[in-house]
């Protein structure tokens, strides 16, 4: 009995000593900022920058990411698992990935800090060294830790599909290059995981309620036909009036559902994870001042402003118009004015007069109630014609046009600077 007691005490002491070595009072990796809507926008922009969708499925593509981009993507990964923080340091032919896992508070510390050294040999990545807390692990244990990390990644459908697509990884001093096999389902899976991260349960219910209201309104209209935007606004914001509750939250969900609809995004597929794609061509499109593109610009800019600030919405609208000037339809002050009108609407929807704005949209009777008619402004300007008439973007003649647009917006009852009550 005495020997058994001594053995138990010795085992307890060794266990406590091991925990003291493995656990730390502080994380080795600093926690990243909360992953939010702007990070989702960055992720989507990164995907668009390396957009492989023009290639046939099965085509091998190469993606190169700088160290800061890698760490931002690792921040994206932390929201899917109970990780406190992740960080990578790149060097030629290898990388050190450090992770901090927050545990329930113990006398030995509240953080499990893990460091894995990865080496790339002929494009294949393997764990060469691992350390947990202050304890370096033997090679066989390090490799087992690598397999465990791989198993954890593969538990998530989106990350599993992403991992399975990778064919080769090469590390350099300040970047990593990844060869991967393009599969169309990747973007769909990542978008759905993004939605799961940034959309709270209450917001999911709101978004689906407004998406359903839009679907029911257009269900019996002929495919390819149009509907006045005022009628859709009456339906959606009339529902918002009846739902009551937090006016800002309801308004944001309502305008986001409208923008998703005209943008060809199925919120049902996105949020519920149904089907092979999140896309759905809108069967019926709303019109504003007689034009479908005005309604699309107006709603998307409003949703961007309600979710991320009007400067973002204006910048995205301007970027599109500058691109159109170089190729396509050309620069349109009409579209740019509609973007600015939508951005103002987005601000009003989440501002101090949110409930009054909701009430006004529910009762909108004419296009003029939504925004001024900008159809008299110059549009479809090729780059050379734009330069001849207005100089450069940001120049005096260009700014004069923007000031004209803003004066007309200032005079509008809904979009002007006066807070609506």
> What does the DSSP assignment read for 156-210?
SHHHHHHHHHEEEEEE-SSEEEEEEE--THHHHHHHHHHHHHHS-HHHHHHHHHH
Q: What is the mean pLDDT of residues 191-201?
A: 61
Closest CA to 243 of 126, 336, 330, 355: 355
* Residues 66-100: tens digit of each pLDDT: 888 887 777 766 655 556 677 888 888 888 888 77
Q: Where are the domains of the chain?
A: 22-188, 199-410
What pLDDT, on the 0 to 100 scale, is given for residue 298? 95
Per the prediction, the chain carries an average pLDDT of: 78
Q: What is the mean pLDDT of residues 29-43?
A: 62
Length of the chain: 421
Per DSSP, the three-state class of 114 is strand
Cβ–Cβ contacts within 10 Å for residue 331, how many?
A: 28
Query: How distant, in Å, are the alpha carbons of 62, 195, 225 from that of 185?
Result: 18, 16, 30
Return the higher-pLDDT residue of 336 and 200.
336
Least confident of 28-37, 215-224, 342-351: 28-37
Place 29 in a pLDDT band, splitting at 50, 70 and 90. low
Closest CA to 119 of 148, 141, 144, 90: 90
* Residues 278-291: tens digit of each pLDDT: 677 889 999 999 99
Alpha-carbon distance of 35 to 400, in angstroms, equals 39
What pLDDT, on the 0 to 100 scale, is given for residue 176? 87
What pLDDT, on the 0 to 100 scale, is given for residue 2? 45
Q: What is the mean pLDDT of residues 120-138?
A: 77
Tokens of residue 176, six digits: 């990593």
Collect all residues with Cβ–Cβ distance below 8 Å to 221 and sequence separation of at least 6: 227, 283, 284
Place 404 in a pLDDT band, splitting at 50, 70 and 90. very high
What pLDDT, on the 0 to 100 scale, is given for residue 16? 38
Alpha-carbon distance of 352 to 21, in angstroms, equals 54
Per DSSP, the three-state class of 244 is coil
What pLDDT, on the 0 to 100 scale, is given for residue 21? 47
Residue pair 181/58 in contact by the 8 Å Cβ criterion: yes
Query: How distant, in Å, are the alpha carbons of 54, 74, 94, 138, 279 from that of 167?
Result: 19, 19, 17, 28, 28
**Residue recorded with tokens 């990542």:** 190
Question: What is the DSSP track for 32-50?
Answer: PPPP-HHHHHHHHHHHHHT
Place 407 in a pLDDT band, splitting at 50, 70 and 90. very high
Question: Which of 71-75, 84-88, 407-411, 415-419 has the highest average model confidence (pLDDT)?
Answer: 407-411
Q: What is the mean pLDDT of residues 246-256?
A: 94
Query: How distant, in Å, are the alpha carbons of 15, 109, 355, 376, 421 from that of 104?
Result: 18, 9, 43, 64, 49
The proportion of the chain whose per-residue pLDDT surpasses 90, expressed as a percent, equals 35
Q: What is the mean pLDDT of residues 195-224?
A: 85
* Residues 156-172: tens digit of each pLDDT: 666 676 777 778 888 88
Place 28 in a pLDDT band, splitting at 50, 70 and 90. low
What pLDDT, on the 0 to 100 scale, is given for residue 11? 40
What pLDDT, on the 0 to 100 scale, is given for residue 44? 61
Residue pair 313/346 in contact by the 8 Å Cβ criterion: yes
- State the pTM of this model: 0.66
> Looking at the predicted structure, is the pLDDT value of residue 14 above 50?
no
What pLDDT, on the 0 to 100 scale, is given for residue 232? 97
> Looking at the predicted structure, is the pLDDT value of residue 402 above 90?
yes
């Amino acid at each position: 009995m005495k020997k058994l007691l001594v053995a138990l005490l010795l085992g307890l002491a060794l266990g406590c000593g091991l925990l003291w070595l493995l656990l730390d009072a502080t994380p080795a990796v600093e926690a990243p900022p909360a992953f939010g809507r702007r990070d989702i926008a960055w992720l989507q922009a990164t995907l668009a920058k390396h957009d492989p969708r023009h290639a046939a499925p099965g085509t091998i593509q190469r993606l190169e990411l700088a160290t800061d981009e890698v760490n931002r993507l690792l921040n994206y990964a932390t929201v899917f698992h109970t990780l406190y923080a992740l960080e990578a340091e790149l060097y030629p032919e290898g990388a050190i990935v450090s992770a901090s896992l927050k545990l329930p508070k113990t006398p030995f510390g509240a953080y499990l800090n893990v460091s894995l050294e990865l080496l790339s040999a002929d494009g294949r990545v393997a764990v060469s060294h691992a350390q947990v807390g202050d304890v370096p692990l033997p090679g066989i244990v390090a490799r087992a830790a690598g397999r465990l990390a791989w198993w954890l990644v593969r538990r998530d459908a989106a990350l599993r599909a992403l991992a399975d697509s990778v064919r080769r990884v090469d590390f350099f001093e300040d970047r990593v290059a990844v060869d991967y096999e393009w599969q169309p389902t990747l973007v769909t899976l990542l978008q759905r995981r993004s939605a799961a991260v940034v959309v709270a349960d209450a917001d999911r219910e709101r978004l689906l309620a407004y998406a359903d209201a839009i679907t029911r309104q257009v269900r019996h209209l002929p495919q390819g036909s149009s509907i006045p935007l005022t009628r859709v606004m009456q339906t959606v914001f009339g529902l918002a009036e009846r739902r009551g509750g937090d006016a800002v939250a309801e308004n944001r969900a309502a305008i986001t559902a409208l923008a998703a609809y005209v943008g060809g995004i199925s919120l049902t597929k996105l949020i519920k994870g149904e089907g092979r794609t999140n896309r759905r061509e809108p069967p019926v499109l709303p019109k504003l001042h007689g034009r479908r593109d005005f309604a699309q610009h107006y709603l998307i800019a409003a949703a961007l402003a309600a979710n991320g600030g009007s400067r973002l919405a204006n910048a995205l609208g301007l970027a599109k118009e500058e691109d159109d000037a170089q190729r396509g339809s050309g620069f349109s002050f009409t579209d740019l004015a509609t973007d600015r009108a939508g951005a103002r609407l987005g601000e009003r929807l989440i501002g101090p007069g949110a409930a009054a704005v909701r009430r006004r949209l529910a009762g909108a009777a004419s296009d003029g109630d939504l925004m001024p008619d900008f159809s008299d402004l110059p549009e479809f300007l090729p780059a050379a014609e734009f330069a001849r008439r207005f100089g450069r973007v940001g120049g005096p003649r260009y700014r004069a046009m923007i000031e004209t647009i803003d004066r007309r917006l200032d005079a509008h009852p809904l979009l002007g600077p006066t807070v609506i009550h």
